Chain A
Amino acid sequence: MRALVSGFLAWCIGIAFSHAQNRTLLYDFYEIPQSLMVNPGVQTGFEWYAGVPLLSGTWTQGGSSGITVQDIFGNDGLDINEKIRQRAVYGMDPRDEFTGTFQVELLSGGFRGRNHPENFYSFGIYSEGDAITYWLGDLAVLAWDGNADQLGRQFDLSHLKTQGEMLNVFHFGINRQMNDRLTLGARGKIYSGIFDLRSARNDGYFVTVEGENNLLANTLDSDMRLQTSGLESLRRKLEDDGADQTAVVQNHILSRGFFGGDLGLGVDLGFSYQLNERLLLTGSLLDLGFMVHASDVRNFSLEGRATSEGVQIILPDALEDPDQNFWQDLVDEIEALIPFEEDASTYLALRPMKLYASVRYNTGGSGRPAEPCYCDYRTGNSSGNLPYRSAVGGQLFVINRPRGPRAALTAFYQRRIGNALALKATYTVDKFSLTRVGLGMNLQAGPVEFYLLADNLLAYGNLADAHFASLQFGLNILSWGRN
């Protein structure tokens, strides 16, 4: 149990602070080729680009809507058990979440069609991990205080909601400028699942009430399920005596991440629409897809309803069988009513779908013609010709999560400085923070392009007290013209 408790704490803290899914700064930052990954219909002016393998796009993001590391582990002289009781067990809500995502591009590139220069093709492979766990709510109270003197209180088992996955994504996208105003994009994805763990559709309760016969009756009404894939074989290998654990994990990730594990399909869709020479509307829908978990699957379930008033000896019936084993009868009865079962049946999981939308007003325009040019691949042979000098706007982000959609609203200001530098500042409001300020920079020196995007900067003074942090960076070689 110590391992379980430590494991849960590590899971929460690991989720929140090693790795949320909102790439606010990257969205519509179209000087950066990776903006195609959050809107395949973004306006592009590149001729081609090649990401530096493993360095073209690294992104890590974490959020905790309830507590921070500082709240629990701050060196404040307070008793840690009181801090946990007040700030977590009785201070958090089952809707509070610990969430995190990381993404590392293994391979990335793109090129404009030779015969159809209105098309820009992009492709690549990236590795992604995504995890979310909601605060355990009633289950945390049960674990912390127990059920004693809580007559009639139903401990809600649906408060257990968690899921996590790691996968490689192989993708190919087409971005097509339909006309002066409209750009559409689509990206097909093949998912190669490395591991998956989910327990998100639980229901039921545990309650203690006055018994019909005895002083108490304990009732468990459970509809709980944990589904896993890609973890059982890893566990077995790690348990082998003499196993090099690092090598085992590396081999497991490599073998399953390149079509040796689960498979899935998905698609990203996006558009940009120029309402007039200044106003731009964009939107995208990402990861409309699914994974079929069919390999190395191990599922656990606890389904049924049982009420116990303990061992019952009711005369004269109890004396009819002198060999009656009251204890075993009770255990057998409960196990028959709520069996704990394991299986290896295939399951299907939807990817966490994301929606982005933005409205953007371009102003200024270095060297920009008086008349709108809706600069594109035909006119924009240099990043300096992009149709704005500065821009302001708003963005909406929505992601589908186990407890329903989670949204974020962002206001942004973007500024180009010469041909080499573009900056973006954002202010975001979401469930993690009301004071999220982010800054991003894209720097181009000749064909070399580097970007660095950091969100929730105000929290960087003490990351331990941050409810949210995000960092992205990448290095590309690219051309805005035919070179």
Chain B
Amino acid sequence: MKKKILTILCAAWVVAWLSGCATTQTAPKPYRISPQGTVIWEDELEFAPPPLGWKLLLPEEGGDISIGFMRMEPGAFPSSSSFAYDEEPFGCSTDFEGREKEFFKRFLFNAILEFKMLEKKKVQVVGGEGLQVDVEGKDPIKGEKVRARVIFGKRGERIIGFYMTQWRPIDGTYDMSAFDDFDKFVKSFKFLKKSFYETL
């Protein structure tokens, strides 16, 4: 009897595993893991995956590449962090200063926050010059705050962006280890081939 139950369970497990395979075949993942443990995204981008606890976020529709990660954190709502790579950050300018101004007109626009600049500095990103801007936004009415880091870099003639946001209740404490994970992600980021715009 025990053997029969085991056989049925094994058969059920095989069916479940095959169903999983079928699902994977219909929706192939846009990435693979290299032998070095980095993520190769659509054979175009390469980066080190963040530590366990960060969940992958994908855009709902196609278009220019955007990849993000998110994690819920201890504490009252809205305690969470997320970071992303964006091929087309808000704005149009191809110089960092111009793009920064345009970007912050619309960044977290719907949250209606009062932003304060914390730090702005030149950095090296994706093999070239970049601009890093740290800001903090507060909403005293809803009792929430956010700390954000935005890094602008260049891919060919166009500006690309990396950004990280960490939300907290207004009296909450930020967890800067999440920013360290973001910095490692950005530092590891590489373009494996020219972008569509560079090939025109």
Whether both chains belong to one complex is answered with no
Interface residues, chain B, CB within 8 Å of chain A? none
